[in-house]
């Protein structure tokens, strides 16, 4: 972990988030150049989060009780592991996963990126890998000059992984089914926290993702169902 100088909250769209969470900017920018201090880890994580969060979600704030509880649980487990190992930094290594289901436009992706910002602010280190399911499949398709297996391992081994829009393809192929099973099975067996969003309703999951993947998701994930109209259409109107 490298030392990160004090940050400008406006640059990272933190003012509202800090106010909502009751966190002082003085605390966030505190420290004596100690790279292991929670405040420095938070600054470092906030800067890294800004690099992977799309511009549209740059100021996302999670307000789902289930999402906030999941973040708090991961942070608490990381601190317990830090104490047990006498590690200099609390870091995400294992934990439960979260499956967010609901129709298009109900706020799942907003909550997911809000969770990244929320976790960064706790001062817990996490190596996020973020992708949509479609982008992941595209990145993993065999092609000249690309080591698809090495690329797969980047998703497989991420300390914490966000997959947006899993199951969006209308007709799963043998290729997507293999990717889904290998990825979910590995993360299931190694208890690696995974944040998944999907437009599927619960009864559609097995038909779209297959029984083997669905069985593992049911055991490894806390399930949250989002309801309501498409917020994007309302904003456009």
pLDDT digits 0-9 by tens, 92-122: 999 999 999 998 888 999 999 999 999 999 9
The answer to whether the beta carbons of residues 15 and 9 sit under 8 Å apart is: yes
CA distance 231 to 237: 10
Q: How far apart are the first and last CA of the chain?
A: 45
Share of the chain above pLDDT 70, in %: 97
Query: CB atoms < 10 A from the CB of 73, how many?
Result: 15
The number of angstroms, rounded, from the C-alpha of 59 to the middle of its chain's C-alpha atoms is: 15
pLDDT at res. 236: 54
CA distance 139 to 170: 19
Inside any domain, residue 7:
no
Inside any domain, residue 32:
no
Closest CA to 120 of 227, 229, 13: 13
Tokens for 23, please give them. Answer: 């966190």
pLDDT at res. 1: 67
Alpha helices in 190-230 (DSSP H): 205-209, 211-220
pLDDT at res. 145: 82
Inside any domain, residue 20:
no
Inside any domain, residue 5:
no
CATH number where 89 lies: 3.40.50.300
Low-confidence ranges of the chain (pLDDT < 70): 1, 232-237
Strand partners, 194: 161
Write out the residue range of the structural domain in which residue 95 sits.
60-236
Domain count, the chain: 1
- Fill in the DSSP letter of residue 13: T
Helix (H, G, I), strand (E, B) or coil at 98: strand
pTM of the model as a whole? 0.92
Inside any domain, residue 191:
yes
Tokens for 103, please give them. Answer: 């129709």
Inside any domain, residue 11:
no
Helix (H, G, I), strand (E, B) or coil at 37: coil
Inside any domain, residue 132:
yes
pLDDT at res. 233: 67
Query: CB atoms < 10 A from the CB of 24, how many?
Result: 9
Per-residue model confidence as pLDDT tens digits over 160-195: 999 999 998 878 899 999 999 999 999 999 999 999
pLDDT at res. 206: 87
Inside any domain, residue 71:
yes
């Amino acid at each position: 972990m490298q030392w990160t100088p004090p940050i400008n909250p406006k640059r990272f769209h933190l003012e509202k988030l800090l106010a909502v969470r009751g966190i002082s900017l003085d605390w966030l920018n505190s420290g004596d150049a100690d790279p292991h201090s929670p405040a420095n880890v938070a600054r470092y994580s906030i800067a890294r989060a800004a690099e992977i969060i799309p511009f549209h979600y740059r100021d996302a704030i999670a307000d789902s009780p289930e999402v906030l509880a999941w973040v708090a649980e991961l942070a608490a487990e990381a601190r317990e592991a830090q104490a047990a190992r006498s590690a200099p930094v609390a870091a995400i290594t294992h934990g439960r996963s979260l499956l967010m289901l609901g129709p298009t436009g109900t706020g799942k992706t907003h909550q997911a990126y809000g969770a990244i910002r929320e976790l960064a602010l706790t001062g817990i280190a996490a190596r996020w890998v973020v992708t949509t399911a479609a982008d992941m499949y595209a990145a993993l398709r065999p092609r000249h000059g690309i080591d698809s297996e090495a690329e797969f391992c980047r998703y497989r081994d991420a300390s914490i992984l966000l997959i947006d829009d899993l199951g969006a393809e209308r007709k799963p192929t043998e290729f997507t089914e293999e990717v889904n099973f290998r990825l979910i099975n590995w993360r299931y067996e190694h208890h690696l926290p995974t944040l998944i969003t999907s437009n599927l309703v619960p009864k559609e999951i097995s038909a779209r993702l297959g029984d083997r993947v669905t069985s593992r998701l049911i055991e490894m994930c806390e399930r949250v169902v989002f309801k309501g109209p498409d917020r994007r259409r309302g904003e456009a109107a």
